[in-house]
Amino acid sequence: MPSLRTLSTVAGFAAATAFVSLLMHRSAPASTPLAAKAGACVAAATGSKTEVDAGVRTAAHKGLLYLGTSSQEWTKKHQCFGCHVQAVTLEALSIGKQHQYQVSAQDLGAMVRALKLGVKAGGHATGVAFEGSAWARYDQWVGNNETPELLTYAKELTAIQNQSGAIVDDDRRLPVTGGTLQTTFQAAQTWRQAYARTADDKWLPPLRKAEAFLAAQSASWKKSPESVYLQDLNFALLGLLASGVTRNEASARGLVDQLLSRQHHDGGWGLDKNPQAASVSIGHKAAASGEAASDAFATGQTVYTLKMAGFADDHPAVARGISYLVSRQDQSGAWRTYRSGQGGAEKAETMWAVLGLVTVDVASLAITGVVDGQHVEPLMRLSASAADNQGGGIQQLELLVDDVSVATSCGSKLAHSLDTRKLTTGKHVIDLVAVTGKGHKSRRRFEVYAGDVFLTELGAHFDEASRATLISLRNIAPPSEEGGRVELEVFSTQEGGEAKPKDKVYSAQQVGTSGGLSLTWNGTGSDGKSYPPGRYLARLTYRDKSGKVRQTDSTQFFHDSEAAQRAKYAEVQGQISLRSGINSANTKIELVDESGNVVQTTRTTEQGNYRFKSVDKGSYRVRVKKDGFADQEAAIQAAPAAAPATASMTL
């Protein structure tokens, strides 16, 4: 099968993507037994070599080198942090490192030092948002050696978030700094990683508020979406994705459709839009007369957005956008297709072009039969394929559910019927992993739900400004479940041991609107009585439109300041990883007291981190339970007014 990257013309590139799409939907051979591991697949990789033009990754690497050099020159000349220059460069370098490009430690170190200069020029809020989002990508994909920087900006962004959920920019200079939608997206990206790294649910309420703002903005565009600035569409979608929205949810679908409809006949997108031009659908051979010119700034940004939304490299829109970017790069490694009166615009254009290209890993993976965020069906027929982007072919494809291998196949194709009837109710993680002939790995991850799971990402945090506890969650009920409601009950709890409900002090309910939800308790009971600071339990119930209880979940919280909580109670934290080096996401963690009672239960974040808050002083065991792996335990001593007790384990 010819690679997508063997064709240099736009028309040829589109033909290749159609060819790949056709092959993906044919019946693939049955999966080989699980014993067919990488070593047994070496011969298959040799036999399935694909003639690959490495032009995409070559162009991306060339762009990374340009960014590293030019951004260091900018810093040396101006001796300050310049928002987009170093922040977006650090983000591109971080993604490049994750996708196995050659990223020099010198280039990374230079951008880290530049960001540590702090926000001294331009708008402060805008600068803080750029800082936070850059540290988020660095922390996610390079390492946790700079986590304090991430958390510093996450905290500051929380402080400046307004009541609508927005981070109002104070330095809008198009096209380089894109306004409030960009800064709100960047804040959401910051909080998402702060939560993934710390497992502290205090970062969830600002995420829900940001999601509400972005969803409201996208809903307001429905009457005339064609008039919306392209960057606003991209930033709204990126912010929703960072908030936990999947591209098939209502708040994101219209944004995706608009982005796809605006692609030009040459495969690119344009920042400038001629209001007289008609929308051009994907696959049209020619644009309407008057169509605005494509540019690498808009194209790189939109390709990046679509990839973050889960579109594969071989999706026609993505493939044509990548082809446009590769064909427009100049000899220096930069792109100069968009003219702006703002200084440094060519660097910003190159940054977005590179961000679009570095999403292409050593192998491109595609899979049908599963959609991120979906509720599983009893039997899911999955068909997967991979294309090597370096030469050498695909040695093996492997499918894993919750880190347990369920199917492997030698070569570049895998078909498997996934029986989900034995999955426990709750969230599950599906991974598709490709091993190239050179031994490199690429991975695609999907989060799916089994059983009646509608309320997710439940968290509670005391807001000191309003002196109220914010209880936040996401409602992922499918359209067929519309018309339900969410009920909140607040209980006092017994002192010591497990936070069992004692007396119900408050109740409320609201329509179960899909997406982010927030409920508030100000300490006043349903009887009008004021209740003292302390530990409480929030119970959330989802009832369908017939009134039937479909799900109940609960979370313990401390109704007072974080300082008061830490003075009275302890915290326990840690990270769970696999021997392969992968973080173990969605893994069940139990906190067990000396009598063998489970006093708290939680699950790890996407980066394998967990946290227990409001823990009584004493000796405990942290127990890790994961199907397919032996249980593990670690003893800890928990004490208030001290650093969190830490227990990290490898499965």
Q: Which of 238, 253, 281, 322 is nearest to 58 (CA)?
A: 322
Say which residue the tokens 């409201």 belong to: 216
Query: Residue 95: in which H helix or E strand, if any?
Result: helix 84-98
Q: Identify the CATH number of the domain in which residue 91 sits.
A: 1.50.10.20
Which among 450, 465, 497 is the end of a domain? 450
Q: Quote the strand ranges of 28-164, DSSP E.
A: none
* Inside any domain, residue 315: yes
Give the pLDDT of residue 344: 58
- DSSP letter for 648, please: -
Q: pLDDT category, 7, cuts 50, 70, 90?
A: very low
Q: pLDDT category, 348, cuts 50, 70, 90?
A: confident
Tens of pLDDT, residue by residue over 220-234, are 999 999 999 999 999
Say which residue the tokens 């050179």 belong to: 438
In this structure, the answer to whether residues 323 and 435 fall within a common structural domain is no
Give the pLDDT of residue 495: 78
What is the distance between the alpha carbons of residues 552 and 453, in angstroms, rounded to a whole number?
A: 9
Q: Side chain identity at 496, as an amino acid letter?
A: G
- By mean pLDDT, which of 23-32, 155-164, 471-480, 613-622 is the weakest? 23-32
List phi, psi (to 5°) of 229. Answer: -60, 135
Span 516-525, average pLDDT: 96
Which among 360, 389, 411 is the end of a domain? 360
In this structure, the answer to whether residues 376 and 479 fall within a common structural domain is no
* Inside any domain, residue 16: no
More confident residue, 36 or 579: 579
Domain that holds residue 481: 455-564
Does pLDDT of 50 surpass 70? Answer: no
Does pLDDT of 500 surpass 60? Answer: yes
* Inside any domain, residue 19: no
Give the pLDDT of residue 346: 67
* Inside any domain, residue 162: yes
Per DSSP, the three-state class of 270 is coil
In this structure, the answer to whether residues 575 and 617 fall within a common structural domain is yes
In this structure, the answer to whether residues 402 and 516 fall within a common structural domain is no
Mean per-residue pLDDT over the chain, rounded: 88
Q: pLDDT category, 469, cuts 50, 70, 90?
A: very high
Does pLDDT of 40 surpass 90? Answer: no
* Inside any domain, residue 503: yes
Give the pLDDT of residue 14: 36
In this structure, the answer to whether residues 67 and 194 fall within a common structural domain is yes
Tens of pLDDT, residue by residue over 622-651, are 999 999 999 999 999 999 999 999 999 999
Give the pLDDT of residue 272: 80
Does pLDDT of 291 surpass 70? Answer: no
Per DSSP, the three-state class of 347 is helix
Q: Which of 455, 454, 456, 458 is nearest to 480 (CA)?
A: 454
Tens of pLDDT, residue by residue over 156-187, are 999 999 999 999 999 888 888 899 999 999 99
Using only C-alpha atoms, the chain has a radius of gyration, in whole angstroms, of 25
In this structure, the answer to whether residues 347 and 377 fall within a common structural domain is no
In this structure, the answer to whether residues 503 and 399 fall within a common structural domain is no
Span 296-302, average pLDDT: 97
Q: Identify the CATH number of the domain in which residue 481 sits.
A: 2.60.40.2550
Reading the block at residue 338, the tokens are: 């968009």
* Inside any domain, residue 544: yes
Tens of pLDDT, residue by residue over 541-553, are 999 999 999 999 9
Span 306-323, average pLDDT: 96
What is the distance between the alpha carbons of residues 306 and 264, in angstroms, rounded to a whole number?
A: 15
Interaxial angle between packed helices 250-261 and 204-220, expressed in degrees from 0 to 180 and rounded to the nearest 10: 50
Q: pLDDT category, 340, cuts 50, 70, 90?
A: confident
Give the pLDDT of residue 25: 32
In this structure, the answer to whether residues 397 and 256 fall within a common structural domain is no
List phi, psi (to 5°) of 296. Answer: -70, -25
Which among 360, 378, 398 is the end of a domain? 360
Give the pLDDT of residue 53: 53
Structural domain count of the chain: 4
Q: Identify the CATH number of the domain in which residue 631 sits.
A: 2.60.40.10
Span 315-326, average pLDDT: 97
Does pLDDT of 16 surpass 80? Answer: no
Span 418-439, average pLDDT: 96
Query: Residue 624: in which H helix or E strand, if any?
Result: strand 618-625
Does pLDDT of 12 surpass 90? Answer: no
- Spatial CB neighbours of 97, under 8 Å, sequence gap ≥ 6: 103, 108, 141, 142
* Inside any domain, residue 1: no
In this structure, the answer to whether residues 553 and 417 fall within a common structural domain is no
In this structure, the answer to whether residues 226 and 345 fall within a common structural domain is yes
In this structure, the answer to whether residues 247 and 172 fall within a common structural domain is yes
* Inside any domain, residue 588: yes
Q: Which of 420, 405, 314, 412 is nearest to 369 (CA)?
A: 420
In this structure, the answer to whether residues 300 and 419 fall within a common structural domain is no
